[in-house]
A = this chain, B = another copy of it.
Amino acid sequence: MLAAMLIREATLHDWPRMWAFMEGIVRAGETFSWDRDTTESQAKQMWFPKPPGRTFVAIDAGGTILGTANSVRNHRGGAAHISSASFMVDPARSGQGVGRALGEHVLKQARKDNFRAMQFNAVVETNTRAVALWRSLGFEVMTTLPAGFHHPAHGYVGLHIMHRKL
């Protein structure tokens, strides 16, 4: 982890610097179950969910945005105690602990917000770094939807549903 990484709530002012690396991740279509032609405006709307949803950025000492995450209620009503979250790290900053720091922060905030569990609905099984990271943060693969994801290079692969109690 970078010595001086800070995680804070994102603002719309941060958006252009977030989208700068998010766009490539969305267009690649390898790890996110978003349409690859999602427009910037749609992406912004999805990435800044209404409260109690939250959006975070990880920044270094110079204020550069290294990665971003958001968290939402995964369900409502009787299942409103389950949260979910999504993460994108600038590929240029890969391997520096940004995803882990964001994951830990999101878990901590979800506990503060009185959620009792966190669920990831769609973790592409070929995204092995993410799967390993979430496992190391206490998530379990609850099930794998067979042929749940069509990967641009690998064809149909499994889609994990991951979960942990908070």
Q: Which of A136-162 contact B (CB under 8 A)?
A: 142-143, 145-152, 159, 161
The reply to whether B79 and A159 form a contact with Cβ atoms under 8 Å apart is yes
Q: From known contacts A121-B121, A142-B161, A143-B142, infer whether A29 and B77 are also in contact, taking CB-CB under 8 Å.
A: yes
A55 is an interface residue with CB less than 8 A from chain B: no
A133 is an interface residue with CB less than 8 A from chain B: no
A34 cross-chain contacts in B, Cβ below 8 A: 76-77
The reply to whether B117 and A145 form a contact with Cβ atoms under 8 Å apart is yes
A63 is an interface residue with CB less than 8 A from chain B: no
A151 to B77 CA separation, bound complex (whole angstroms): 9
The reply to whether A78 and B124 form a contact with Cβ atoms under 8 Å apart is yes
A81 is an interface residue with CB less than 8 A from chain B: yes
Q: From known contacts A33-B79, A36-B77, infer whether A145 and B142 are also in contact, taking CB-CB under 8 Å.
A: yes
**One of B32, B78, B119 near A150 (C-beta < 8 A):** B78
Per-residue B-contact encoding for A111-145, CB less than 8 Å = 1, 0 else: 00000110101101000000000000000001101
A50 is an interface residue with CB less than 8 A from chain B: no
The reply to whether B33 and A150 form a contact with Cβ atoms under 8 Å apart is no
Q: From known contacts A143-B161, A161-B143, infer whether A122 and B35 are also in contact, taking CB-CB under 8 Å.
A: no
Give 27 A-B contacts (CB < 8 Å), ordered by A residue: A29-B77, A29-B78, A33-B77, A33-B78, A33-B79, A34-B76, A34-B77, A35-B77, A36-B77, A78-B124, A78-B149, A78-B150, A78-B152, A79-B148, A79-B150, A81-B150, A82-B145, A82-B148, A82-B159, A117-B145, A117-B148, A119-B145, A142-B142, A142-B143, A145-B163, A146-B165, A161-B161
